[in-house]
Structure formats: structure tokens, C-alpha cells
Amino acid sequence: MDTTCPNCERDSLQGFYHVSGVPVHTVLLMPSRDEAIHYPRGDIELGWCTTCGFISNVAFDKRLLSYSSRYEETQSCSETFGDFHRSLCDRLIKRYQLRAKRIIEIGSGKGEFISQLCERGENSGMAFDPAYVEGRVSKDAAKHVTFVTDFYSERYGRLQADLILCKMTLEHIPDTGTFIKMLRRNIHSQDTGVFFQVPDATRILNAGAFWDIYYEHCAYFTPDSLAHVFQQSGFDVEDVYRDYDGQYLMIHARPARRQIGELFCPVASIDMKAAIDLFISHVKRARATWRNRIAEKYGQDRRIALWGGGSKAVAFVNTLSLNEEIEQIVDINPHKHGTFLPGTGHPIVPPKALQEARPDLIIIMNPVYQQEINQALTELGVKAELAVLH
């Protein structure tokens, strides 16, 4: 394997986790079961950097990916996620005094967040994402934003902003060090604020959460490695913290006004070697536990459904090689209804389908939505045993 860390560029990567033949896309809409089953696959070979703590899929091949209008990443259908977005929006407006300012969002998805930022703060924005779909935000909200169906790169360096934000995108970029250095070169003013949000690899390691490891995510950050790549690329790191029930890492930075010195990271560093060893042990146990539990229910002719038709479900069923054991995948996003889960071809259905299916066991893919799901099940009159991935 290539041992060069794409985050700090040191020859420091050590392999520790492998999964073969997983779907290269997890939230690309699959209109037929046949396409879902036969969609291209790739391997995951994770290595961790003994220098900066970064985790990379060294087997990643970006040529296999196809980000387009079929890419359905939005979580905005959830009230829980909507509350989080509104809170984050208010915090960013307050922190960066975003009133009549200019904002750039990298990896804006369907544009919900930057539209909200611009509408509530009377700001103007420019959003970059090849998966943008016109009409997914209201005309009033969208009129403040120019959408560019392209990847952000050095070609857009002429465009300046008071805030550059990037949520849940950096983990999709293999050469993280190269990308953050490019971003720094593109910024002309030291007053420009920078905000990034990525999944927290520390939680994945501690929980042995194999369902949070999938092909599209080729980069996994701890607080240390996230702060490291920004500081070595010419930024002053102002804050690094966790949010959304500890699932996300958030970083605030600005172009550096001084030479790079000691690595700044206000979140306590972790012993990566110990965390990796713990992850390996937890994954082995978690896989066996879930396989046995599902096999037992299936052997008793119990009907099993998963709630959450996103990346976690794809990783969960494909890593465990689940097929007929799972009857259906439930998701509240109407754009997913009638499509099929990549890799296994399980049908994705709306919650109301449970009234007819009456599953005996529902496995919830993300604990942050448990209360919302409980309320939905009560309203549907569906009673089932619930199990939650943590």
C-alpha cells in the first residue's frame, strides 16, 4: 500500500482495516434493483498516519465516482436535522456577523443551508456542487445564491467571500492537504472566515462503527488531524469542537497572520494506536453481534426493517452481507421512495409502508433520530422491537 499520508504528506501510513467489494456510491439514487445490485464496487483499505492521526482509504479511486443530480445526500426532511441546521445557521451569523455579507459554500448539496444563511442574514452567496438540482429550495431563498454545478477549485480563486464554508465534503476528497492548500491560495483577505464540518473519526473508532465506513468517505479526521491540515496549509485555527451528538467535528479558521507554530487543538488529543486497537476489537465483536441477532430473528420468521436509507444502511448491509434477512429500508426522504439500496437492491419505502409490512424488528441506523422515529411509529400505530446502532 502507498504509505504517504495525503493530509500531512509524511511517509507514515499503517494499514489496519479492509473491506472488499463495496458499492462506490451510497446515496446515488438507484431506479432499479438490477442497477443497485450491479453498481460498480471498490475496496476499502484504511491506513492511519502515525504523524498526524489522519485515516485514509489508500485503495480509493476517484475515477469510479459519479456525483450528479442523482446524488441524494440531503437530510433536510428530518425535523431533528432541520433544528440542527437552524441552530448552526444562527451561530454562524452571530460569529461572523453575517449581515449583507458574501458567502461561498463548497459542496452545497441541494443548497438548503447556504440559502438559509443568505435569506436569514440578507447575504449573497455562491454555492458549488455537481449534484445541485434546481428547484429544491424556494425561489425566494434561492434568489440570494448563485449555484455552480462544478467542483470548487483554483479556477474560482477570483471569487472572494467574507465566509467560506464546507459541510460534510472534505471527507470525500482524497488529497486533503493539497485541497486545503489550494483553498488558502484562493483566499486574498486575512479577514475571511473559514468553517468546515466533517464526521468525527474518534467516535467511529471508539464505537467500532463499521457502518460509518464507506467508499465515498476516503478521508477520516480526528480533531488533531483536522487542525493539523489547516495549520500546515497556512491557517490560524480558532476552534475545533464536536457537535450533533458528537457525530461531527467543526473547525473555525482564518488565513494565518503569523508563522506556523505549535499545533493548536483545543479538543483533547487521543492515543491513536490505542484507538485503532480498540476499533479492531470492537468491529469484530459488533459484526458478530449483529449477524447473530439478525440471523436469530430471521430464523424465527421475524420480519426485519432498517430505518434510514443512507450511507450507514449501505455500509451495514453490505459489510454484513445481508440480503433476504432484511425486508425493506425505510426513509422519510420522498426522493428515495421507489429506489433501491446500492449493493443489495433492498427497496426503499416511506414510513407508511410499515403499516402493511408490520416488521417485528426495526434497526435504527442513527441514534440521533430515535426520538423522531419513535414519534413517527406511534403516529403510524406500528409496534415493533427497536434496535439502535451506536
Cβ(249)–Cβ(200) below 8 Å: yes
Cβ(54)–Cβ(225) below 8 Å: yes
**Domain membership flag for residue 310:** no
Cβ(369)–Cβ(78) below 8 Å: yes
311's grid cell: 450511507
Residue 54 is given by DSSP the state -
Question: CB-based burial of residue 184 (10 Å sphere; 0-12 exposed, 13-18 middle, 19+ buried)?
Answer: middle
Q: What is the pLDDT of residue 390?
A: 87
**Domain membership flag for residue 6:** no
Residue 102 is given by DSSP the state E
Residue 224 belongs to domain spanning: 79-272
**380-384 contacts at long range (C-beta below 8 A, 24 or more positions apart):** 380/351, 380/352, 380/354, 380/355, 381/355, 382/354, 382/355, 382/358, 384/305, 384/354, 384/358, 384/359, 384/360
186's grid cell: 484562493
Bridging pattern class, strands 41-49 and 13-23: antiparallel
Question: CB-based burial of residue 247 (10 Å sphere; 0-12 exposed, 13-18 middle, 19+ buried)?
Answer: middle
Q: What is the pLDDT of residue 264?
A: 54
**Domain membership flag for residue 144:** yes
**Domain membership flag for residue 343:** no
Per-residue pLDDT reduced to its tens digit, 66-115:
999 999 999 999 999 999 999 999 999 999 999 999 999 999 999 999 99
Per-position DSSP letters for 264-290, written without gaps between them? P--SPP--HHHHHHHHHHHHHHHHHHH
Residues of the chain with pLDDT under 70: 258-269
Bridging pattern class, strands 55-57 and 219-220: antiparallel
What is the Cα–Cα distance from 313 to 212, expressed in whole angstroms? Answer: 9
CATH number of the domain encompassing residue 264 = 3.40.50.150
Count of domains forming the chain: 1
CA distances from 317 to 171, 338, 365 (A): 22, 18, 11
The size of the chain, in residues, is 390
Q: Which residues pair with 42 in a beta bridge?
A: 22
**Domain membership flag for residue 114:** yes
Residue partners of 277: CB distance under 8 A and separation at least 6 = none
Q: What is the pLDDT of residue 18?
A: 97
The helix/strand/coil state of 174 is coil
Per-residue pLDDT reduced to its tens digit, 261-315:
555 554 556 789 999 999 999 999 999 999 999 999 999 999 999 999 999 999 9
Q: What is the pLDDT of residue 265?
A: 53
**Domain membership flag for residue 27:** no
Cβ(56)–Cβ(218) below 8 Å: yes
Residue type, 71: Y
CA distances from 313 to 66, 133, 208, 285 (A): 20, 24, 15, 19
Q: What is the pLDDT of residue 139?
A: 81
Alpha helices in 11-121 (DSSP H): 33-37, 79-95, 112-121
Tell me the pLDDT of the chain averaged across its residues.
94
**Domain membership flag for residue 337:** no
Strand order in the sheet with 219-220: 13-23, 41-49, 55-57, 219-220
Q: What is the pLDDT of residue 2?
A: 82
**Domain membership flag for residue 130:** yes
What is the Cα–Cα distance from 107 to 131, expressed in whole angstroms? Answer: 9
